Amino acid sequence: MKLVSVLIEHPIHKISDSFYYLFNGEISKGVRVKVNFNHQNIIGFVTEVKNTNKTKEELKKEFGFEIKYIDEVIDETPIFSQELLNLASIASERFFYPLIGVLQAMVPPSLRPNSRSLNEAKIKYVTYYKINEDIDDKCLNLNKTSLKLLEEFKLKKIIEKKEISSKKKSIEALLSNNLIQEEKQEEYRYKILQTFKYEDKIELNEKQNDAFLNVINSEKICSLLYGVTGSGKTEVYIKLAEYFIKNGGSALILVPEIALTPLMISRILSYFDKDIIGIIHSSLTSAESYDEYRKILNGQSKIVIGTRSAIFAPLKDLKLICIDEEHDDSYYQSDNFSYNTIDIALIRAKLSGAKVVLGSATPSIETMSKAKSNRYQLLELPQRFNKIDLPKAQIINSGDRKNFSFKSNIFSVYLIQKIKETLLNNEQVILLINTKGFSRNMTCRECNYIFTCPKCGSTLFYHKENNTLRCHHCEYKIKKPTTCPECGSKNFIFNGIGIEQVEEEFKKIFNVNYLSLDGDRITKTLQISTILQDFNDKKANVLIGTQIVAKGHDFKNVSLIGVINCDNSLFVPSYKSRENLFQLIYQVIGRCGRGEKRGEAVIQTNFPTDFAIIFATAQDYDSFYDEEIKNRKSLKYPPFYYLVKIQITSKDIKLIKENQENIKNFFKDVAKNAIILKSNDINFFQNNYRTSILIKIKDYSEIKDSIKMLLDIYKRESKIRIKILLNPPVIN
């Protein structure tokens, strides 16, 4: 008999420990099981299996309680490798989240250790008929129709059942005479597409080759590949992947957004056989992600491309993890199991013996600091691959109305002129506006009432296209009200420029086709791929988009970038707000001049003297880093201080306030060297009140045990929940 340790499917600290069950027969660690827990039939996950010679009664006497039997084993083989189980255990400890919740985040819906997984997609089989080898059909009594079908089989060898479903009698005749046999084959539901064409040969230049060799030969696990936009970082990833795959390993390449997967997939498809490529991102259907995960788990995929969640791809013999655009905050997961993808990558690399390559033209301040202090290996690509100078850029002060005419209050006179010149030359333009919808808010003209989200308190954006007010935080939406709920007025003001307003104005000024790329309206990979391919094929010479257009795209004919406005990045409650603004402007400028002609960028802003905007326009990362690192030090932010955000959630606002004060006092007593800041905001989110405490501390080890103690205290509370976020980019 087996004594089995089982984690219960509910990811809460109160029942985060494993529970004993019994099983007669063979069972493996790493499989899901059906069990009865507290009179409920639920799903569990096996973490340990021990043999026991004791009877159920003897075990009851030893433990002091009755141990139940497992009802059913769901999986024939483990859904996690030992390496991933070790990773989950370390991540659970590091990020203060129940182990079962970590495991649930690591797999697609169909394989999650929870009850909902039983109703998710399963394997799809396609039935075929296959001709048997060495058949002797000379003495068989077959009619003409059956003989004709047999000749077709001799030619094709294998035919899908649905292709010949109308020939039932002939099929039965061939089967009964043992001329063909029926077999089922699994059909993978995700069809990998190549959106862009690239050459299948890569020749590294001297700097790229130096970087390639240094990654392979360095004793350091992690390298920062710091290269200007268009310097050829992707080519280095590909050659590294090729090297490690040829030497029996596998490789993982991450991009920050789904919109960048078509480009990376196209690059990889140009160089590797599609049969060894796996894809993981949230735009896949449940069925597609299920197929891709198992394809990777069984060792068919040697290279995986994906977004944040792909860091958990079950690759065998993982030897390379490349994180492209490593600076992007999309690599931070804040909901449920909260983690930084780079942290997970470094843990996984240590477990598997892999190399980690962080690539960016604008590395995060923390990453560059580690490279400068020799914790990471610093590799530089200082020139564009095409050897053309970086784009020239011009700042336009949006606050000076002399820069605008009666034609438009959105497009400056200079930008209008440059767009017209570019289009006359049959070249392409990308326009960036960092706001979704039509406007940032809708306000009553009479009483100044601002429409806010009833669920979370965020300002509602107006979307003119479907006449709705929408929350970009929790996805709440309503039809645009016709009257003010406060005073009954029908007169409204729309504040802030959104992408829909930019498109509306663009159509008035320029009589040309354009494409738009907006994560709010376009969510599926196929939609994104189609727009990017159409722009690449010059079906339109203008692409208007939100920040989705600023990252990683490689269009050879784009010679002009116009930044309509991205000042709102400065007002995000984050210590990284200036860094994010710098990166956004620098990155979008880098989308032009990637062909044979130097590009140009026009940056419209209300803050023309802000150092982030000045240095981004000059594409001067080093000067920005020098300025920003001084600010981080004086304000006690990373990389000089560690941040711990304690999120407090309850349906009772009184409990929220009381416990916020209690937790603040708790840490004042146990962490004498910490700076403890209590948030003044109490938000209403998903029918709960929420607030937080931020702790700044130089030595994180000083409070780690205290955080565990706090969670242990609160796991007994049913009316209030505590969540820990480590170094979150947004701190309110």
From start to end of 265-407, where are the E strands?
Answer: 277-280, 303-306, 318-324, 332-333, 339-340, 355-360, 377-381, 392-397
Q: What local confidence, expressed as pLDDT, does residue 142 receive?
A: 85
For 239, the token pair is 């050659």
List pLDDT tens digits, range 474-526: 778 899 999 999 999 999 999 889 999 999 999 999 989 999 998 776 666 67
Q: Please determine, for residue 134, whether its predicted confidence score (pLDDT) is greater than 80.
A: no
Q: Which of 541, 511, 540, 514 is nearest to 427 (CA)?
A: 541
Average pLDDT over residues 435-450: 91
Q: Which of 10, 87, 32, 90 is nearest to 312 (CA)?
A: 87
Beta-carbon count within 10 A of 694 CB: 18
Span 642-726 CATH architecture: 2-Layer Sandwich (3.30)
Q: Which residues of 394-408 are buried (b: 16+ CB within 10 A; e: fewer)?
A: ebbebeeeeebeeee
For the domain covering 392-435+497-633, report its CATH number. Answer: 3.40.50.300
Q: Which of 56, 64, 34, 54 is nearest to 46 (CA)?
A: 34
Do residues 349 and 215 lie in contact, with contact meaning Cβ atoms separated by under 8 Å? Answer: no
Q: What local confidence, expressed as pLDDT, does residue 387 receive?
A: 82
Average pLDDT taken over every residue of the chain: 92
Which amino acid is residue 196, in one-letter code? Answer: F
Q: Please determine, for residue 455, whether its predicted confidence score (pLDDT) is greater than 70.
A: yes
**What 3-state class would DSSP assign to 442?**
strand
Q: What local confidence, expressed as pLDDT, does residue 684 receive?
A: 80
Q: What local confidence, expressed as pLDDT, does residue 297 receive?
A: 94
Average pLDDT over residues 421-429: 96
Q: What local confidence, expressed as pLDDT, does residue 259 receive?
A: 84
* Portion of the chain with pLDDT greater than 90, in percent: 72
List pLDDT tens digits, range 694-727: 999 999 999 999 999 999 999 888 899 999 999 9
Which amino acid is residue 64, in one-letter code? Answer: G
List pLDDT tens digits, range 544-572: 999 889 988 889 999 999 999 888 888 88
Q: What local confidence, expressed as pLDDT, does residue 138 receive?
A: 63
Q: What local confidence, expressed as pLDDT, does residue 523 receive?
A: 62
Q: Please determine, for residue 591, whether its predicted confidence score (pLDDT) is greater than 90.
A: yes
pLDDT band, very low/low/confident/very high, at 450 (cuts 50, 70, 90)? very high
Query: Which homologous superfamily does the CATH classification assign to the domain defined by 2-119?
Result: PriA, 3(prime) DNA-binding domain (3.40.1440.60)
pLDDT band, very low/low/confident/very high, at 326 (cuts 50, 70, 90)? very high
d(CA 501, CA 498): 5
Do residues 88 and 102 lie in contact, with contact meaning Cβ atoms separated by under 8 Å? Answer: yes
Domain ranges of the chain: 2-119, 125-186, 206-381, 392-435+497-633, 642-726
Are the folds of 2-119 and 206-381 the same? no
Number of H helices, E strands in the chain: 19, 33
Q: What local confidence, expressed as pLDDT, does residue 524 receive?
A: 65
Q: What local confidence, expressed as pLDDT, does residue 137 receive?
A: 63
Spatial CB neighbours of 196, under 8 Å, sequence gap ≥ 6: 262, 263, 266, 267, 532, 533, 536, 554
Measuring CA to CA, how many Å separate 85 from each of 89, 94, 100, 314?
6, 14, 11, 10
List pLDDT tens digits, range 283-317: 899 999 999 999 999 999 999 999 999 999 999 99
How far from the centroid of its chain's Cα atoms is residue 537's Cα?
Answer: 27
Do residues 323 and 358 lie in contact, with contact meaning Cβ atoms separated by under 8 Å? Answer: yes
Q: Please determine, for residue 222, whether its predicted confidence score (pLDDT) is greater than 90.
A: yes
Which of the four CATH numbers 3.40.50.300, 1.10.10.60, 3.40.190.10, 2.102.10.10 does domain 206-381 have? 3.40.50.300
Q: Which of 522, 574, 570 is nearest to 546 (CA)?
A: 522
